Amino acid sequence: MAQDTETKGNIDPSESPTESLTQGIEVIKSYLKSLPNRPGVYRMMDSKGNALYVGKAKDLKKRVSSYTRPQRQVIRILRMIARTTSMEFITTHTEAEALLLESNLIKKLAPRYNILLRDDKSFPLIHLTSAHAFPRVVKHRGARAKEGEFFGPFASAWSVSHTLDILQQAFLLRTCSDSVFDSRTRPCLLYQIKRCCAPCVPDKIDQEDYLALVDQARAFLTGRSKEIQNELSTRMQEASDAMEFETAAVYRDRIQAMARVQAKQGINLVGVGDADVIAAHQEGGQTCIQVFFFRTSFNHGNRAYYPSHSKDAEVADVLEAFIGQFYANKPPPKQIFLSHNLSGLSVLKEALAVRAGHIVQIQVPQRGEKRKAIDHALVNAKEALARRMSESASQRKLLDGLAEALGLESTPQRIEVYDNSHIAGTNGVGAMIVAGPEGFIKPAYRKFNIKGVVEGKFKGGDDYSMAHEVLTRRFSRALKEDPGRTDGQWPDLVIFDGGKGQLSIAVQVFEELGIDDVPVAAIAKGPDRNAGKEKLFMPGKEPIQLEFKDPVLYFLQRLRDEAHRFAIGTHRVKRAKGVSKSILDQAPGVGAKRKRALLHHFGSAAAVANAGLEDLEAVGGISKAMAKKLYDHFHSGN
């Protein structure tokens, strides 16, 4: 691919919308002369270099020239054109290659005017290991970099954990780590409750028989469950005929465990193999997309997505953009069933085939079992969107009530809540959580490692100084990165967990930074820290105490508790890292390899610190000079 990057023109924010639109069109026109009639990807940038929009084109010149005809554009696109001050282009060999690149850039840059898939976590898998003589089955999330086989994906951690639980009952495979396995001298509790065949103990099962169980589990996970059930049923009957009733009962329990997996599948697509069913429902300017995962004809669960898009976006356009981004970091199955026809279906098939390494069939079923699966997914999408819209309406009522209670000029769209956490001044952290009309906005959460204590500017237990540092860092950066407040990252309300003292600190920080239009409040716990008797403090106002059962009070408590939870969690992580540090980490010249060699030789860091010079010299990988340096370090009296 060849890349051509240019920057031209600037738009003055003070100009009128018409002048900005005219100038934006002129910026776009300036690139047309040098653009080829080839496939590629284009980026529209604002005056700060931020991506406004990422698009693909079969013909770059024709596609970009369409932006110079404003009479054919909707208002959203006109706003984007008006903010465009430069463009970047990347030419590709094919349109499918452009689609793949476009999806990657959208996920990376999150442009304001694109349809965005924000909730894109990886899916859990079942990992059947192969690096050990006795393989194990475990839950796995992330890249498939480890040795062994992977099965899935599963829609949720619960679904994969449930399947693993049944696999333990049906095939008695171990789940313990290799280190635990190698150190065992007798069977663990899982053997006692018939969840493991105890391969860690020599007299319980030999390797050949254990690997036979592994083969059965592999067959089950690849869709050959009937075959395994028939085999177990035959063995159960043989054991019963031979009067070996305990053995027959073991086979019976394994068959029942496998049956429980299949009983909880719900709708299945018999004979389809691996497929994803994707259905979209749109209502009230919002879209819910339900994805059902079918692997080896079994239903592995479903997940709902709510892409971010403009209210005038068509459902087919949202679905097409979703699919490109959804499979940007995960392998597509061999078949995908959709609820709507897409205009760019052929290009999408080609792009996904490139990503998957095999042909990907994309269909819109009209009848039969596949259509029933689509209809089922559509019902789920409709119900999920209704629940989300209902929750959003309730959330907006709470925000309206909060604005009324605090006397705000308008309903806040972004609330930032701050809290600090430490123990006797150690491992101090600050935390910021964000909430809005859609609830908690977790990707916007921020944590602050308190620098003032490390630098000796104040003591660790000084909560006010910690609050001052956190707010100063947050809003100094906001003033630097977004002084015009155009990116929606400025809060409409700041709340601090605390009383008058924290409020005065917030007011002081805003005065120092010249911020006079962000409302600030502090919420203090009631007498004896009783929930329900909290008081709200605002600058220049008498303390506000809401009614005990006021929904707005409950809402404020939820905000405060979430900030407290996030702060405590961040503090615990930091404290745990500090606890795990060794005195060897402070020793000069000791890296990971030398640290490991010393610990293997002496058994503990304390033993290393107390070792004599000759003992240190005897460690493999430790030279005499290094041993002398270590000895001096631990015996210098510091």
* Burial readout 593-610 (b: 16 or more C-beta within 10 A, e: otherwise): ebbeebeebbeebeebbe
What pLDDT is attached to residue 374? 94
Name the residue ranges covered by the structural domains of the chain: 2-109, 124-263, 275-386, 415-483+490-578, 583-634
Please report, for residues 22, 78, 107, the alpha-carbon distance to residue 84 in angstroms, rounded to integers and kept in the order given: 11, 10, 20
205 residue type, one letter: I
What pLDDT is attached to residue 1? 40
Q: How far apart are CA 483 and CA 475, in angstroms?
A: 10
The β-bridge relationship of strands 86-91 and 40-45 is antiparallel
Please report, for residues 131, 140, 160, 212, 225, the alpha-carbon distance to residue 175 in angstroms, rounded to integers and kept in the order given: 14, 12, 14, 17, 21
> What CATH architecture is 2-109?
3-Layer(aba) Sandwich (3.40)
What pLDDT is attached to residue 29? 93
Burial grade of 368 (CB within 10 A; 0-12, 13-18, 19 or more): exposed
Q: Does domain 275-386 have CATH number 3.30.420.10?
A: yes
**Taking Cα atoms as reference points, which of 635, 637, 572, 577 lies closest to residue 609?**
635
Q: What is the mean pLDDT of each run of 10 residues along the chain (638 residues)?
A: 38 48 92 92 92 94 92 87 94 91 90 83 86 89 85 82 81 87 87 88 89 88 77 85 84 76 58 88 91 83 89 91 89 93 91 90 91 92 88 87 90 92 66 90 88 63 84 89 76 90 92 89 73 83 86 90 86 61 72 79 78 84 86 73
Q: Does domain 583-634 have CATH number 3.30.310?
A: no
Task: Please say whether the beta carbons of 24 and 82 come within 8 A.
Answer: yes
Domains 2-109 and 275-386 share a fold: no
- CATH classification for the domain delimited by 415-483+490-578, as one of 3.20.20.240, 3.40.50.300, 3.30.750.24, 3.30.420.340: 3.30.420.340
What pLDDT is attached to residue 631? 85
Task: Please say whether the beta carbons of 149 and 169 come within 8 A.
Answer: no
Q: How far apart are CA 209 and CA 555, in angstroms?
A: 58
What pLDDT is attached to residue 58? 92
What pLDDT is attached to residue 495? 94
What pLDDT is attached to residue 9? 37
pTM of the model: 0.66
